[in-house]
Amino acid sequence: MPLLLDTNIIIPILRQATAALPPAVRRMLETERDFRCSVASLWEIAIKARLGKLPLHIGLDALPAMLAAGGVDIISILPEHVLAELSLLPSTKDPFDRLLLAQCQVEGMKLLTVDSELSVHPLACRLTA
């Protein structure tokens, strides 16, 4: 099953700092092969970088190629994603989080995240310690 990478996973990948991720997440990144990144995550990263809240050592325009080089496919935001009614709402009201979960529901993916509020959602990838 494809794994949609949460923004909190994409950022360490882009920074080449995956050692800071929990061991279970690092194992998934090493063993799984079908990873996706939502345009929503790129949008969130661009917003944070432009506001000065997320320093990056590469230009925003280089992000898609860097992800592609790492074998991560980028998925667009489709009308079906933004109009989907989640079968179970997460405790977070963050619109990016809700969109990522909707993409997982519509596209048959699981969300790989380190967000404690999202990791308990049925659409999140269950990690073992």
Q: 126 or 125, which is more confident?
A: 125
Q: Is residue 89 part of a domain?
A: yes
**Tens-digit pLDDT profile for residues 16-56:** 899 999 999 999 999 988 999 999 999 999 999 999 999 99
Q: What is the mean pLDDT of residues 72-92?
A: 93
Kind of pairing, strands 110-112 and 72-75?
A: unpaired
**Helix or strand (DSSP H, E) at 66:** helix 63-69
Kindly state whether residue 77 falls inside one of the protein's structural domains. yes
Which CATH number characterizes residue 45's domain? 3.40.50.1010
Tell me how far apart the alpha carbons of residues 112 and 129 are, in angstroms, rounded to a whole number: 14
**Global pTM value:** 0.93
Q: Tokens 């000065």: give the residue.
A: 52
Binning pLDDT at 50, 70 and 90, where does residue 129 land? low
Contacts (Cβ under 8 Å, ≥6 apart) of 95:
none
**Residues 16, 105 contacting (CB under 8 angstroms):** no
Domain range enclosing 25? 3-112
For residue 41, is it within any domain? yes
Q: In 3D, which of 3, 2, 35 has the Cα closest to residue 111?
A: 3
Q: How many domains does the chain have?
A: 1
User: Coil, helix or strand for 75?
Assistant: strand
- Identify whether 127 is part of a domain: no
